[in-house]
Structure 1
Amino acid sequence: MAVVTPLDPKRRKAGTDALEALVELVATDLAAVNDLIIRRMHSDVEMIPQLAGYIVASGGKRLRPVLTLAAARLCGYQGERHQPLAACVEFIHTATLLHDDVVDESDLRRGQPSANAVFGNKASVLVGDFLFSRAFQVMTEDGSLDVLRILSSASAVISEGEVLQLITANDTTTSEEAYLEVIRAKTAELFAAACRIGAVVAGRPAAEEEALRSYGLNLGIAFQVVDDVLDYSAVQARLGKSIGDDFREGKITLPVVLAFRRGDDEERAFWRRTLEDIDQRDGDLEHALALMQRHNTLRDSVERARHYGAMARDALGLFPASPIKRALLDVIDFVVDRDF
């Protein structure tokens, strides 16, 4: 079975501790955000808070809203506007998850039955629409046209990314550039917006706003690349977590792009059969993992993620040293080196 680049256990632990340290630094704000999320998910239509609450409580780490809170504090903000906006970011993220699982026909999310598997596709799509609407209500209540422009633009780009992914689905000729274009839109754009609005609410100069946008964008790219690697990770299997979901769905992610490009004609025929035709047989996942190991595609994908992590690190060079800057830098290690 294939393995991801071996990582120093101390380094992995440091990354996990970094996320915990960042959460601790914004703990009071995050508690307020969680209360806001619960309140703003309320509806007299019983299924809405029931389904929304199911996915919100399904084990996510609230990384995106935490980044909004941390970015605002990094910029010296002392008010409370960032709290509802962080909740808004989480609503947008949750809505996209609901829509994603319907489009991908996914039955699992984070090892648990997906919302669409429990409540059905129609309910998942409609509750996702409700959460998008709630997010826009929160944006307008904030009253900032800049915030509205940034978050509404991010929402539009995310939708474009969904369509791009649909176009490239099951297409083994997808290039690395096309893959990156999809994940920039689908994942990294919301990371970028989440960080950028921290500078906006603090009234900071354009240079700081751009620095935080760049940090979030590159962190988001690294995050998604590693997510796609973990779907084929032997570490995941040892932890009892499902692997190969992307393979079974015919998703074209970076490890596949590299394996297809580096393979011979016989190997490319295998990828076409399993991912384009979805003609999958016993032992095909194990063979896919063996091909990825042969061509070092998991290891090299992690190295790509480290490259974007380095750019995220550079983006914060504009800001003076502080505990929250240190935690934001260290959380890059959590994103790149996570194995769970």
Structure 2
Amino acid sequence: MLGEIIKPIEKELHIVNNIVEKEMYIKSTHIGRYAHLELTYSERVIRPALVILSARIYGYTGKKALYLASIFQFTHLASIVHKFIPEKDTDYIRGDSDPRDGSQFPILVGDYLYGKGFSSLYNADMISFMGPIAEIVCRIHEGGILRNKIKGNNFASEAYLEVVRKETAELFAGCSAMGARLAGVSADQQEKMKHLGMNIGMAYGLTEHNTAAKFAVAYLENALAVLLGVPDVAEKYILEQVIKSLVNHNIFKRRMVI
């Protein structure tokens, strides 16, 4: 269903994917040999789509939106590589071991992907975005530290929600706010889009943790409420359908308790 909803920007998403995929090779070796980079369809497109749609809602259709979308995808890929590194030091030692299951190679791959994101900002002449994106990367790492400190999965606890916000939602918030920023919107409008992305990201992050649906739906309802205040253009309704699909749990392939 997600593929059908975002079909109007399918060409742009394909370009973004090509930009990212081109950087996945070191010499002739795909970095997926050294870190787990298996993604669902939604993981491949949801963040780039949010950047592109947010920019277009406010009238920006230039190439920088595609570069920004790829930069956020590099950041996402780096974060998930680091997130799933085993807590116990399991460096790749044995010749028959899978290097993806250790810690040494995934750490290097994650750092490589973060670096690619920042070098892409420079190459695309978007250095002014470097500070905000670096701050998001810091938040993601803060979330990882906090996740390892909390005990259990009390989905309603403030500590648990803070982990989801930092590890997942902050990146979504950046996608929507900085997508809109490309269009030259006011600080107030950027803040509105940040709030929109934050709510989508909270719902997405909670679902990734197999949280009961009722916890995620409240955030998606908040996102729909924010969306009422953005310009009445076609991309607004595409994004609305994306959010409603999340409400109906049709995008996620993970198991959910309703």
Q: TM-score, normalization: structure 1?
A: 0.65
Shift of 1:137: 0.5
Deviates most, 137-146 or 306-315: 137-146
1:62 aligned counterpart, secondary structure: helix
Question: Secondary structure of the residue that 1:209 maps to in structure 2?
Answer: helix
The alignment status of 1:160 with 2:142, answered yes or no, reads yes
**Equivalent position to 1:85, from 44, 50, 68:** 68
Deviation at 1:176, TM superposition (A): 1.0
- CA change 1:303–1:171 in 2 (3 A) is closer
Q: Could you say which residue in structure 2 is the equivalent of 1:306? A: 217
Cα drift, residue 58 of structure 1: 5.9
Whether the aligned pair in 2 keeps the contact of 1:95 and 1:129 (CA below 8 Å) is yes
Q: What letter is aligned with 1:28? A: K
Residue number in structure 1 paired with 2:114: 132
Count of equivalent residues: 241
Partner of 1:182: 163
* Cα 1:80/1:121, change in 2 over 3 Å: same
Alignment of 1:68-83 (within 5 A): 68-83=51-66
Q: Quote the residue 2:189 is aligned against.
A: 208
Q: Could you tell me how far apart the structure 2 residues matched to 1:193 and 1:50 are?
A: 29
Does the 8 Å CA contact 1:223/1:336 hold for their aligned counterparts? no
Mapped to 1, the partners of 2:55 and 2:118 lie a distance apart of: 20
| Alpha-carbon offset, residue 337 of structure 1 | 2.5
**Counterpart Cα distance in 1 of 2:238 and 2:29:** 39
Q: 2 CA distance for matches of 1:23 and 1:175?
A: 32
Question: Aligned-pair RMSD on alpha carbons?
Answer: 2.4
Give the unaligned 5+ runs of structure 2: 89-97, 254-258
Structure 1 residue 45: Cα displacement: 7.1
TM-score, normalising length from structure 2?
Answer: 0.84
Q: Secondary structure at the match of 2:37?
A: helix
Q: Deviations over 1:235-281 (max 9, x none)?
A: xxxxxxxxxxxxxxxxxxxx5xxxxxxxxxxxxxxxxxxxxxxxxxx
5+ residue gaps, structure 1, are: 1-15, 106-115, 230-254, 256-297
1:149 deviates by 1.9
In the alignment, the residues of structure 2 paired with residue 36 and residue 174 of structure 1 have an alpha-carbon distance, to the nearest angstrom, of: 36
Within 2, Cα distance between the matches of 1:58 and 1:315? 27
Ranked by relative contact order (alpha carbons within 8 Å, sequence separation 6 or more), the top structure is: 1
1:167 shift after superposition: 1.0
Note the alpha carbon deviations across 1:24-53, whole angstroms, 9 max, x for none.
12112111111111222232273636446x
Aligned-pair identity in percent equals: 27
Supply the distance in 2 between the matched residues of 1:176 and 1:120 (Cα, whole angstroms).
Answer: 32
Alpha-carbon distance change, 87 to 80 in structure 1, aligned in 2, over 3 angstroms? same
Q: Secondary structure at the match of 1:225?
A: helix
Tell me, in whole angstroms, the C-alpha distance in 1 between the residues paired with 2:174 and 2:29: 31
